[in-house]
Amino acid sequence: MSDEALLQRLRDPETVNAAFRELVKRYQEKIYWLVRRMVLNHEDADDLVQNIFLKVYTNLHAFKGASSLYTWIYRIAVNEVFSHLKSMRKNVFVSYDTVSAKLENTLRYDPGISADLIQERFQKAMLKLPPKQRLVFQMKYYESDLTFEKMSDILDTSSGALKASYHQAVKKIEKMMLDD
């Protein structure tokens, strides 16, 4: 079923619940992994994904169709992740470096994340990136089918700025991997 057909079913009071289950089934895993890569902790990622889809459901009436349905959901997810990271920082009155250190501890002890040394160094290097730069890098690295133009729609930033951010992130990660 196309997104357009799904949207029609979402707007029909008689089919909205079944259509929403279909929407969640279609996009939940992708959104989960976007969130999980940013927050690392499964429980936090799970809670955030629930909040994201709750927001999607309550704001379906506001979706104008200017972007694809997935782009709109992705944008909601990105905003939720940044709010979560910001609240982590506020709750402990620390910088993003301290939040990154906390996430590194999660990385070290999470059995769901490979303990391979190179992978661990790579993950730690990503955690040291500023949150927006890390998101851009992860979007491009893990979702290779995402073009900078699509990312531009999702993040509401020019594709040129995203390319620059991505290349800066690559350089920083390379340097951190070589320095460790």
CATH number of the domain enclosing 50: 1.10.1740.10
What whole-number distance in Å separates Cα of residue 63 and Cα of residue 67? 9
Total domain count, the chain? 1
Predicted local distance difference test score (pLDDT) of residue 177:
78
Residue 80 near residue 51, CB atoms below 8 Å: yes
Averaged pLDDT of the chain? 83
Residue 96 in this model has a pLDDT that exceeds 50: no
Residue 16 in this model has a pLDDT that exceeds 80: yes
Predicted local distance difference test score (pLDDT) of residue 94:
43
Domain that holds residue 163: 3-179
Residue 86 in this model has a pLDDT that exceeds 60: yes
Q: What is the pTM of this model?
A: 0.71
Predicted local distance difference test score (pLDDT) of residue 93:
45
What whole-number distance in Å separates Cα of residue 53 and Cα of residue 5? 19
